[in-house]
């Protein structure tokens, strides 16, 4: 079987279907896609809201709750406790399938009636403001994460403890503003580090302890800007930077950016990767065009394929032994054989289902927990289910829509409040012109700050011990939005000697995402012109990288990069 080039029916750009893609489509019995990978991802992501939260009343118990859905949404929204209770009887909304009507039109009738969960999380102890999380204890404002404890304002963290403002970490403890770090402890402002300890401002370092402002360092101690010091010299020099002050941190950020700008970067932040293309991958095999993936194999066009994810394609978040998942998002916890679905944790053989955890063998269902052999939430016998499902699929194939995700019109969110804004930002005019919705409900407060930054202590150590942070309202220097700092967060800053951040949590999150670069690849040639393995002239090795050709960074292939690490 050969690769085949087709034109995307959405953006009209050409895209390639590889032989391995065709084999996967045959295995799960779906036609090849008519949309390119980027358009398929964009369509999925408008069905998920991770970080934009609102206050509204639960439509069941009537109590005020925090929700992914703004109060102006017309469909029923239940708080987490009600949605997970016996009050939710999804089969009561069951509908008879009508072969004379389109499947998506009938699903939408069901989708508008079934209660939606205000937030998605499970096994959460003493934690608030969680969404798309599991197995969390003593956490606050944690999104897309699992198995964490005592963490605040974090995104996509796993098996970690005592973190603030961190993202894409695994087994990291007592750290602040770190991204893409593994097996680390006591880090600040670090990116792409493994097994590092008690350090700050590191980029792509391994096994380093007590280091500051370093890049491409391996198994070193007491280094500043990649230069060695004695322990005593290091500690004295460290004090001179005054990193417990806001001004000291900002000055060091500028100095660090200037230091690393002429240092070579590896074409991708990958570690122990075999036969794979993408970025931010660790311990993966046969991953194609995947981003932020670890302990996974045989996946393609996935973002967040993790912890034994296998044979998944076109997925945004699939993990915890997810297998044979296609064109879906938020699928995990022993899931298998899932097609075009969302939030079907601990489920199998699910097709076109939304919000159906702990279910099996369902088609076109919504808000159904522990369902089995259901179509449009109506119960069938196994034989009846198989017969009707086959008929619906054949009809959808004739209409050339089987395998496509739900139409954009069925998304419950505005474009600007869904996860798509991080990957594919659009203005309101652009989004509306492309047929997406837009949410105009104001988010956040402005002009209510009680803190004036010019009068605020520069150093965290200068903050009075009786400072009552719960009574204060801060203002973001970037977006002017008000924000608060909880008591546990302030205790963390004091313990780590970190100045209180001058930007709101959302702006800090957006900065980290921007620094990661896009989940996209460009074909480039190694920029090394030193006498490494290629002896003379420029290295001829080519690769796929997230560094676009117009980026200023110096990008090396794996072998040339290894010649440059310290």
Q: Is 41 part of any domain? A: yes
Q: What's the half-sphere exposure (Cβ side, CA atoms, 13 Å) at 443?
A: 16
Task: With respect to residue 373, please indicate whether it lies within any of the assigned structural domains.
Answer: no
pLDDT value at residue 2: 86
Co-location of 25 and 159 in the same domain: no
Record the tokens describing residue 75, joined without a space: 């469909």
CB 461 within 8 A of CB 497: yes
Low-confidence ranges of the chain (pLDDT < 50): none
Domain match, 25 and 151 both:
no
- For 499, other C-beta atoms within 10 Å of its C-beta total 23
Q: What is the total count of domains within the chain?
A: 2
- Pairing status of strand 77-78 against strand 64-67: unpaired
Predicted structure pTM score: 0.94
Using CA atoms, how far apart are residues 324 and 297, in angstroms rounded to an integer?
Answer: 11
pLDDT tens column, 324-365 = 999 999 998 889 999 999 999 999 999 999 999 999 999 999
Asked if residue 6 lies in contact with residue 14, where contact means CB atoms within 8 angstroms, the answer is: yes
Last residue within a domain, chosen from 218, 239, 264 = 264
Instruction: Verify that 36 and 142 share a domain, yes or no.
Output: no
DSSP H or E stretch at residue 311: strand 303-319
Question: Phi, psi (5° rounding) for residue 236?
Answer: -70, -45
Q: What distance in Å separates the CA atoms of residue 360 and residue 121, rounded to the nearest whole number?
A: 20
Per the domain annotation, does 177 fall within a domain?
A: yes
- Name, in order, each residue with C-beta under 8 angstroms of 344's C-beta and a sequence gap of 6 or more: 328, 331, 335, 338, 350, 353, 356, 357, 359
Residues 131 and 257 in one domain: yes
User: In this predicted structure, what is the pLDDT of residue 125?
Assistant: 95
Q: What is the CATH number of the domain that holds 127?
A: 2.150.10
Q: Which of 218, 245, 264 marks a domain boundary?
A: 264
Which residue, chain included where needed, has tokens 């239940």?
Answer: 78
Nearest to 408 by CA among 46, 27, 16: 46
Instruction: Please give the pLDDT value at position 346.
Output: 94
The answer as to whether 169 is a domain residue is yes
Note the pLDDT of residue 300.
97
Q: How far apart are the first and last CA of the chain?
A: 45
Comparing CA positions, the residue from 33, 9, 38 lying closest to residue 420 is 38
Residues 20 and 137 in one domain: no
Is 50 part of a structural domain of the chain?
no
Check whether residue 259 and residue 127 sit in a common domain.
yes
Question: In the listed set 233, 264, 295, which residue is the last one of a domain according to the structure?
Answer: 264
Do 38 and 128 reside in the same domain of the chain? no
Q: Do both 146 and 233 map to the same domain?
A: yes
In a domain, 401, yes or no: no
Q: Which two tokens stand for residue 342?
A: 């969302």
550 domain residue, yes or no: no
| Residue 27 and residue 152 in one domain | no
Token pair for 423: 């990957």
Residue numbers of the domain that contains 187:
122-264
Q: Yes or no: say if 36 and 13 are a contact pair by the CB < 8 Å rule.
A: yes
- What integer pLDDT is reported at residue 334 of this predicted model? 86
Q: Is residue 335 in some structural domain?
A: no
Do 255 and 136 fall into the same domain?
Answer: yes
- Give the pLDDT of residue 537: 85
């Amino acid at each position: 079987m050969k690769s085949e080039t087709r034109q995307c029916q959405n953006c009209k750009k050409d895209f390639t279907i590889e032989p391995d893609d065709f084999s996967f489509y045959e295995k799960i019995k779906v036609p090849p896609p008519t949309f390119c990978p980027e358009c398929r991802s964009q369509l999925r992501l408008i069905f998920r809201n991770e970080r934009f939260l609102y206050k509204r009343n639960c439509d069941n118990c009537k109590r005020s709750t925090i929700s992914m859905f703004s109060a102006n949404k017309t469909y029923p929204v239940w708080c987490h406790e009600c949605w997970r209770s016996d009050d939710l009887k999804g089969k009561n909304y069951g509908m008879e399938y009508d072969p004379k009507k389109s499947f998506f039109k009938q699903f939408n009738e069901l989708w508008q009636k079934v209660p939606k969960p205000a937030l998605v999380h499970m096994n959460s102890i003493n934690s608030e403001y969680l969404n798309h999380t599991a197995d969390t204890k003593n956490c606050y404002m944690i999104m897309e994460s699992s198995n964490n404890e005592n963490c605040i304002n974090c995104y996509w963290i796993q098996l970690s403890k005592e973190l603030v403002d961190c993202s894409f970490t695994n087994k990291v403890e007592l750290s602040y503003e770190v991204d893409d770090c593994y097996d680390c402890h006591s880090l600040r402002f670090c990116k792409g580090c493994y097994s590092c300890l008690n350090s700050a401002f590191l980029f792509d370092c391994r096994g380093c302890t007590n280091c500051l402002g370093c890049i491409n360092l391996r198994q070193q101690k007491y280094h500043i800007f990649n230069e060695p010091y004695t322990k005593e010299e290091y500690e004295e020099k460290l004090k001179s930077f005054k990193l417990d002050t806001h001004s000291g941190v900002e000055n060091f950020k500028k100095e660090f950016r200037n230091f690393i700008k002429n240092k070579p970067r590896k074409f991708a932040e990958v570690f122990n990767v075999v036969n794979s293309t993408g970025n931010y991958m660790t311990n993966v095999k046969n991953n194609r065009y995947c981003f932020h993936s670890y302990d996974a194999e045989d996946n393609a066009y996935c973002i967040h394929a993790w912890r034994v994810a296998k044979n998944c394609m076109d997925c945004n978040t699939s993990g915890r032994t997810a297998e044979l998942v296609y064109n879906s998002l938020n699928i995990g916890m022993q899931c298998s054989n899932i097609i075009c679905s969302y939030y079907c944790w601990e489920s199998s053989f699910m097709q076109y289902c939304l919000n159906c955890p702990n279910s099996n063998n369902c088609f076109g269902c919504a808000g159904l927990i522990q369902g089995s052999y259901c179509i449009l939430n109506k119960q069938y016998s196994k034989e009846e289910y198989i017969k009707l499902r086959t008929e619906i699929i054949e009809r959808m194939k004739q209409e050339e829509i089987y395998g496509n995700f739900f139409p954009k019109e069925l998304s419950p969110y505005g474009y600007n409040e869904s996860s798509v804004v991080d990957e594919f930002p659009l203005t309101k005019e652009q989004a509306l012109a492309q047929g997406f919705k837009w949410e105009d409900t104001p988010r956040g407060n402005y002009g209510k700050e009680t803190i004036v930054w010019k009068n605020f202590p520069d150093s965290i150590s200068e903050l009075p011990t009786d400072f009552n942070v719960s009574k204060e309202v801060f203002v973001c220097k970037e977006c002017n939005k008000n924000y608060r700092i909880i008591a546990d967060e302030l205790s963390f800053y004091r313990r780590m000697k970190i100045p209180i951040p001058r930007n709101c949590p959302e702006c800090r999150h957006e900065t980290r995402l921007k620094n990661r670069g896009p989940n996209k690849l460009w074909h480039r040639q190694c920029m090394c012109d030193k006498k490494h393995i290629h002896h003379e002239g420029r290295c001829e090795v080519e690769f796929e990288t997230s560094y676009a050709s117009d980026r200023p960074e110096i990008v090396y292939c794996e072998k040339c990069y290894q010649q440059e690490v310290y």
